């Protein structure tokens, strides 16, 4: 297993008043987008960028055949 540790970006929750958390990690934002709990177009630009980067990272991992937990 590779010793690289991916640090998940965390954002101040200024965009989802229905979510009680003061901060949200990018993984939680992606999960909410997938189930319709958030709309992409309301996200701040920095959050949109982080979501895109994380989705690209996950896609690259899936194409490599490795488990995401191995990254």
The residue extents of the domains of the chain are 10-70
Are 40 and 48 in contact, with CB atoms under 8 Å apart?
A: yes
Dihedral (C-alpha) 11, 43, 48, 36: value to the nearest 10 degrees?
100
Q: What is the pLDDT of residues 18-41, one digit of tens each?
A: 999 999 999 999 999 999 999 999
Q: Look up residue 65 and give its two tokens.
A: 């055949």
pLDDT of amino acid 69 = 58
Reported pTM: 0.79
Please list the residues that pair with 24 across neighbouring strands: 11
Are 26 and 11 in contact, with CB atoms under 8 Å apart?
A: yes
Q: CA 5, CA 65: separation in Å to the nearest integer?
A: 18
């Amino acid at each position: 297993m590779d010793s690289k540790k991916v640090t998940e970006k965390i954002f101040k929750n200024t965009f989802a008043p229905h979510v009680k958390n003061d901060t949200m990690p990018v993984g939680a934002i992606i999960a909410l987008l997938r189930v319709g709990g958030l709309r992409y177009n309301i996200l701040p630009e920095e959050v949109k960028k982080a979501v895109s980067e994380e989705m690209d990272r996950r896609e690259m991992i899936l194409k490599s055949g490795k488990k995401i937990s191995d990254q």
